[in-house]
Amino acid sequence: MLSRCYSFTTIGIDSAPVEVEIDLRKGGQEAFTSIVGLPDTAVKESKERLFSAVTNANFKFPRKRILINLAPADIKKHGPVFDLPMAIGILIASEQLQPPPEKSVAFIGELALDGSVRPVKGALSVAIAARAAGFPRLIVPRGNAVEAGLVPGIDVFPVGSLGEAVKLIESPTEFEPVSVDCEELFRQNHNYEIDFKDIKGQEHAKRATEIAVAGGHNMILIGPPGSGKSMLAKRIATLMPEMTLEEAIETTRIHSVRGLLNTEHQLIATRPFRTPHHTISDVGLIGGGANIEPGEVSLGNNGVLFLDEFPEFSRRVLEVLRQPLEGGTVTISRAAGTLTFPAKFMLIAAMNPCPCGYLSHPTKSCTCTTRQISNYRSKLSGPLLDRIDIHVEMPAVDYRDLVDKREGESSETIRNRCRTTREIQRKRFTGLKINCNARMNNAAIKKFCPLGDEAQNVLKMAVEELGFSARAYHRVLRVSRTIADMDKSENIKSEHVLEAVQYRNLDRSQWHDF
């Protein structure tokens, strides 16, 4: 007998429908299961789990040849997501279960040997795709209930076992779909455990950080060990405007397909903060692999990507950052196809001024040679540094600042100012595909960053004396526009340009004089 069930496979961060066809044939005393339709190893191993799961759930596993086809056959199927629909299809084909109406329900879930259903990756993307495909109901593992329930317009039914899934098909009116209050869940998860007021001293770096957040600019911090670079970077997400529900769902979707959600936090409502180790590969950072998955730049989407010990990263790894830094997306091409992932992150990099870290330190002596310092700094290419708007030096923290009991400004106070500045930009860029000053292209810079004679002379002098590249010149204009917005000034003034020029430390000639 032939049966048909419906499921979904994840492709990047999207999902595509899959028909799970089951054909039972006479074939001797022992059962033999064959799975076709471009299954990967995890899918092929499902046949070993199916026998135990079906029998331990008190059903009969048919002693026939079983052919399972996953259609369309030209799309790679991966993961254990098809366990549950294959088991349901086998029960329908062996006449132990009446089939539900055609295309009335879709299934995802991994089966344990005892017949229980385990959560899978990408349930949020599956729910979105199932709704788009017109399925009124979706049966998911209980551990994916909240995640899939975030999608309105489709009834999501969580199950904990194969037996429960069968009962749901037989008596659907006895079960209630999961109900998720997205707004309430969003509010519950929208809290940070750290605050910007914890940072002592470093007023110059704090000011630069506020400018960076207000305009969405990338930033690099240069300072000795213990100057607070990592501490400051970890708190930048707390200054960014609160995530919208749409941003939260987009970010959650990316983490879902990587299997990074847990049962307690199935909606990411705070800005993500990703800090990969400097030994990461280019695939780990950008994404890819046999089954193309998003990398760290996409996991940091709508949040912060912090690269500590910046020069220690592989030159090849750093150079692949150029595309996402410019376009906010990353495109990965493999023999199997081409996928594009969102990568709208704020890059925060940190580095020492020299290999030992104590160059120009007030109390500790640098042990590096001139050649070592030159080689260390040359690891960062000019084109990459040009894509980082703000360069900030962070000196060692003074003892008086450490013992000062006065609290600095809280994250909420600074965030409110940044939100006001972002609102000015939102209104300015209405109708354009630009959400902040850092994303302005050359045409937008020409339109929105006109300079008066005095400001133009200041910038001309800086470009000629410091040798800025054309890209660095445009970066200065973007930062100047943000500083002017913070001052609620329609025009960019000379003082705005002067401050923006201060944040291009790595372009100055003395930085390279080693």
List the chain domain ranges.
Answer: 2-180, 196-424
Strands 337-342 and 329-334: antiparallel
- Distance CA(408)–CA(458), nearest Å, equals 33
* pLDDT interval class at 325 (50, 70, 90): confident
Q: Is the pLDDT of residue 409 over 60?
A: yes
Q: What is the pLDDT of residue 507?
A: 67
Contact 118, 81 (CB under 8 A): no
Q: Which residue has the higher pLDDT, 470 or 229?
A: 229
pLDDT exceeding 90 applies to what percent of the chain?
Answer: 60
Q: Is 402 exposed, middle or buried (0-12, 13-18, 19+ CB in 10 A)?
A: exposed
Looking at residues 151-178, what average pLDDT do you find? 93
Q: Is the pLDDT of residue 134 over 70?
A: yes
Measure the CA dihedral 478/481/487/488, to 10°: -140
- The DSSP bridge partners found for residue 23 are 2, 67
Q: Closest by alpha carbon to 105, among 127, 121, 73?
A: 127
Q: Is the pLDDT of residue 27 over 70?
A: no
- Distance CA(187)–CA(18), nearest Å, equals 35
Q: Is 16 exposed, middle or buried (0-12, 13-18, 19+ CB in 10 A)?
A: middle
Tell me which amino acid residue 213 is: V
CATH of 2-180, one of 2.40.30.160, 3.40.50.2000, 1.20.140.10, 3.30.230.10: 3.30.230.10
Q: What is the pLDDT of residue 95?
A: 92
- DSSP per-residue string spanning 288-308: ETTTTEE-HHHHTTTSEEEES
The separation between CA 411 and the C-alpha centre of its own chain, rounded to angstroms, equals 22
Q: 196-424 has which fold? A: Rossmann fold (3.40.50)
Contact 349, 221 (CB under 8 A): yes
Please state, in angstroms and as integers, the Cα–Cα distance from residue 285 to each residue in 11, 300, 307, 330, following that order: 19, 10, 11, 11
- The DSSP bridge partners found for residue 103 are none
Q: Is the pLDDT of residue 113 over 80?
A: yes
